[in-house]
Copies of this chain bind each other. A is one copy, B any other.
Amino acid sequence: MERIIRAPRGTTLSCKSWQTEAPMRMLMNNLDPEVARDPANLIVYGGTGRAARNWQCFDKIVETLKTLEMDETLLVQSGKPVAVFKTSEWAPRVLIANSNLVPKWANWEYFRELEERGLIMYGQMTAGSWIYIGTQGILQGTYETFYAVAKKYFGETLKGKWVLTAGLGEMGGAQPLAVTLNDGVVLAVEIDKRMIERRLNTGYLDTWTDNLDEALEMVQKAVKEERPLSVGLLANAAEVHPELVKRGIIPDIVTDQTAAHDPLTGYVPAGMSFDEALKLRKENPQKYLELVYESVVKHINAILEMQKQGAKVFEYGNNIRRLAYDHGVKDAFNIPGYVPEYIRDLFAEGKGPFRWAALSGNPEDIYKTDKKVLELFPYDDHLRKWIELAQKKVKWQGLPARICWLGQGERAEFGLAINEMVKKGELEAPIVIGRDHHDTGSVASPYRETEAMKDGSDAIADWPILNAMLNVASGATWVSFHHGGGVGIGYSLHAGMVIVADGTDLAHKKLERVLTNDVGLGVVRHADAGYEIAIETAKKHNLRMPMLD
């Protein structure tokens, strides 16, 4: 019998305070069937990104949180609760380290070996750190990215343009809606029928077919009529993309969100159904991987050809360029990464995927905070457009939550306002505030967030470590440090933080520090690398950088 996990709602505490109730509810929320990709196996999203190492560990984490005192800290090692120590009221209640390996051993093969022996867990970014909030989490980022593409190349709108992509998984599932929100048309190739159904059910995808001709007909009609439309195509990208090239059909924009960062569980080779793939993956992983490599080569060669014929192409952080490169596509890196192309300038101002969730489970709490954020930042039209669209189009998954990209200063201001609302009883219960690991100061990832840094510091990982330690020092409620994540083992290190706004004065102090420092370090990191926008932002917000004094 399958266990169904769902976070408790309302104001009755299972734990001794909201400081521990919050991580408990958010851990459970990560495994809510509305939220998680494969809750039976504790998999939240992104290949095998898990919330806890196994069910026994999950139960022990919950049990421990229920008895944890306000000056105790639980330590979680790759999803296993290993110790409780007495710390202080200022300390985080939970410290998490997931998937970390000594560099020379940092490869998938070795990782999987350790995983099989029950010694390690893949934490992805927000899976093992308990702040994944469903596909909305990525929807805003994807919306921002397609908006940035539109801004750079198509006059701020995707009207009458079409996007080709693949992968409608937990992150990739945000693509169709993100494109239609920008008034464009999208053809999204996905090999797993359940994923297509999931997106249809949540309203992220408009329609689907398993017939390429039919799909193209729908797409071309919508493009002609300048009407937004998203079409799911049940097929394999490694077959569809080369076929389009053959037919001379070139999209305006091409990207990809198959989980290619994890070739064994995240990419399905051409020539087989999803179920056949599952079978072969188990029975003959070596053979499976060989077929994946062949397919990825075809897939990327097709994208490169589309690029040559004028399509705007970019890699969307799944490390598929590297995989293709390693298997012979020497010009795979002609495809630019999305961060240097579209996101770097936002990071330099401290903007990134800020998010919050209502521990009450009451959507009204989120609507009230939506109102508050628009009140606080009335000058931000783009923010207003997003919040309005999100209210209309985003269905709740698990605990109601909201995401938007706020920058230095704004995050702290808004966090304090939320705490004030909780204090005054305007909200039913406390709010947790966090962010993706994929943020301005929290990650070193040379093929994604730190690709092509101005000073060449792409691979320097001191920053995410400082970020984790600074968040512990500043009063975050839980802090995590992961290896791997979206780009896979060996390719990134990143830190996460979540903080509870429970309306207390202590929370006020902590929120002020955490929401200033966490993002402040991101601005500093970019200023240190020489980005003008960051240097200005640091000055404007009085961030103290001794070497610039």
Contacts and interface: CB of A to CB of B under 8 A. Distances in A.
A63 B549 CA distance: 11
Interface in A451-502: 455-463, 465-466, 468-470, 472-475, 479, 481, 483, 489-493
Interface stretch (A87-95, A247-255, A346-354): A87-95
B546 A474 contact: no
Contacts of A87: 470, 473-475, 513, 517
Q: Which of A73, A469, A490, A492 has the most CB of B within 10 A?
A: A469
Nearest to A123: B462
Given A117-B456, A462-B77, A102 B64 contact: no
A53 B470 CA distance: 21
Interface in A47-77: 56-57, 60-61, 63-64, 73-75, 77
A545 B76 CA distance: 11
In the complex, the count of this chain's copies comes to: 2
A465 B57 CA distance: 20
Given A73-B470, A470-B75, A459 B105 contact: yes
Given A95-B470, A468-B465, A544-B83, A460 B100 contact: yes
The A interface is mostly helix, strand or loop, or mixed, namely mixed
Contacts of A153: none
Contact of A474 (B64, B91, B101, B543): B91
Interface residues of A, number: 83
A513 B457 CA distance: 36
A81 interface: yes
A516 B465 CA distance: 23
A98 B466 CA distance: 10
Given A83-B544, A466-B97, A460 B103 contact: no
A95 B473 contact: yes
Given A102-B458, A102-B492, 18 more contacts: A60-B549, A77-B528, A78-B460, A78-B462, A81-B547, A83-B545, A83-B546, A85-B513, A86-B516, A88-B475, A95-B469, A97-B461, A97-B466, A102-B491, A103-B103, A103-B104, A104-B490, A468-B469
30 contacts: A77-B460, A77-B462, A77-B463, A78-B462, A80-B547, A81-B547, A85-B513, A85-B544, A86-B516, A87-B473, A87-B474, A88-B473, A88-B513, A91-B474, A95-B469, A95-B470, A97-B462, A97-B466, A100-B465, A102-B445, A102-B458, A102-B460, A102-B490, A102-B492, A103-B103, A103-B106, A103-B490, A104-B446, A104-B491, A105-B446
